[in-house]
Amino acid sequence: MMMMSKKDNLHSSMQFQNFELEYFQSQFERTVEYNLADSSVKCLSTREWLSEEEAEQLLSTGLFYPEVNGTGLLRERIAALYPGATANNVLVTVGAAQANCMVVSTLLERGDEVIVVSPGYRQVWGLAKNLGCNVKELQLLPEENWRLNLDRLAAMTSDKTKLIAIVNPNNPTGTVLAPDEMKQVVETCERSGAWLHADEVYRGTEFHGVETPSFWGQYDKLICTNSLSKAYGLAGLRIGWAVAAPEMVGELWRRHEYAVIAAAGPSMTLAEIALQPEKRAMLLQRQRELSRNGHAVLEKWIAQQEGRFSLHKPVATSIAFVRYYFDMPSVELVDYLRKNASVLVAPGAYLGTEHHLRITVGYDTAKVETALSRISAAIAELAIAV
């Protein structure tokens, strides 16, 4: 009788789902000349957006253990973004990534049914799978302009559904739910008794400048998450938050203590500054301008590509989900572009939809133009080789 080794036994008992997109980016984002695989805009240096007084405030920040749930001022400024919320509704986390992780570990158990949207950022998808949940994917379709099909969502939902996870505005398609669509999502949750997790990290990225409403206040079994990474161009601060009823904030807080104790004190000082109304407006305007300019460059480039690519024009975010029309898996195509053009983009397969590339354009237009021209040259060589 053949005995299993400890290594084999470990492998058989832990079928771990890697976070493929993040692992891919971690491996290669600093090995290329042009990284368009991120999902933010060109991030600011600290010097660029602080006044002398604010810089002194940062330098005076004590490096003792900060408030575990977030400084009182920061929680107040976050709560001010959600009508009717108070600081007691807020938990400050290490990015929205940690907030989302706390949501899954707090609400879900092995065997629970979860609905996620694809294409999408597959963090909740992977966390739930690793927990042993039954994960259902609501597929967005390009022929429906990537709109959330509310009838399909309702049909997928039952009294077994524990959690419905929505990203609004959507990553990677850049679509935004209309108020009546948000209401129907809530009604679907109410009928089944499911929790609603609203990841709203792209609120404030809308090209027209009108900020998408939060789900906050529309449902009692609701957790909203957000961060300073996407709309603000401050990804390096690693500051996020969860907004929920005080009782749920307490439950999340208990998991937060195990995971990280607290977010970093200097980062919270900078977050307090960023969420001052005038400073926040400046950061959002800068991000929107970068995104609009980058998308204009991308649209012009696609029109010149002789039908090799297409795009359903997004209305928000600095990212575009670009369809390509040749027979190659997206992971292979991205690897080819990395090696032959020194440009990194994200494969659609890692976001749940094949034959697409996620391309981020929220950078200086010269950078976007050069990177796209390199992609064109590499694709032309590929066509000749095939």
Percent of the chain clearing pLDDT 90 (strictly above): 94
Task: Give the SS3 label for residue 206.
Answer: strand
Across the range 7-32, mean pLDDT stands at 82
Q: Which residues of 247-257 are buried (b: 16+ CB within 10 A; e: fewer)?
A: ebbebbbebbe
pLDDT digits (tens, 9 = 90+) for 65-90: 999 999 999 999 999 999 999 999 99
The encoded tokens of residue 90 equal: 């807020």
pLDDT classification of 1: cutoffs 50, 70, 90: very low
- The average pLDDT across 213-228 equals 98
Asked if the model's pLDDT at residue 116 lies above 80, the reply is yes
* This model's pTM is above 0.85: yes
Q: Which two tokens stand for residue 87?
A: 């600081």
Q: What is the mean pLDDT of residues 222-238?
A: 98
pLDDT band for 12, please (50, 70, 90 cuts).
very low
Classify residue 144 as left (phi > 0), alpha (psi -120 to 50) or beta: alpha
273 closest CA partner among 101, 13, 114, 74 = 74
At residue 213 the predicted structure's pLDDT band, cuts being 50, 70 and 90, is very high
Asked if residues 34 and 370 have their Cβ atoms less than 8 Å apart, the reply is yes
pLDDT classification of 353: cutoffs 50, 70, 90: very high
**Which distant-in-sequence residues (6+ apart) come within 8 Å of 166 by Cβ?**
117, 148, 177, 185, 196, 197, 198, 199, 215
Tokens linked to 215: 């789900």
Tell me what pLDDT residue 7 has: 54
* CB contact at 8 A, 201 and 230: yes
pLDDT grade for 4, boundaries at 50, 70 and 90? low
pLDDT of residue 262: 97
End-to-end Cα distance, the chain: 50
For the segment 266-291, what is each residue's pLDDT rounded down to a tens digit? 999 999 999 999 999 999 999 999 99
pLDDT in tens, 161-204: 999 999 999 999 999 999 999 999 999 999 999 999 999 999 99
Quote the CA–CA distance of 52 and 60 in Å, as a whole number.
12
Strand partners, 136: 115
The full set of domains in the chain, from first to last, is 19-45+281-385 (3.90.1150.10), 60-279 (3.40.640.10)
**Which pLDDT does position 6 carry in this prediction?**
53
Q: Indicate if the pLDDT at residue 208 is higher than 80.
A: yes
Minimal CA–CA distance to 176: which of 298, 324, 46, 317?
Answer: 317
Q: Give dist(CA 370, CA 373) in Å, integer.
A: 5
What's the whole-number average pLDDT of the chain? 95
Cβ 115 vs Cβ 161: under 8 Å: yes
Q: What is the mean pLDDT of residues 326-352?
A: 97
* Inter-helix orientation angle 52-59/265-274, to 10°: 160
**In the predicted model, is pLDDT for residue 314 greater than 80?**
yes
382 has a pLDDT exceeding 90: no
Residue with tokens 């161009």: 233
- What average pLDDT does range 20-31 have in this prediction? 97
CA distance 295 to 291: 6
pLDDT-based confidence at 5, cuts 50/70/90?
low
pLDDT-derived band at 104, boundaries 50, 70, 90: very high
- Tell me the mean pLDDT in the region 344-366: 98
From the list 321, 289, 286, 278, the residue with the least C-alpha distance to 302 is: 321
- pLDDT at res. 15: 85
CA distance 242 to 88: 11
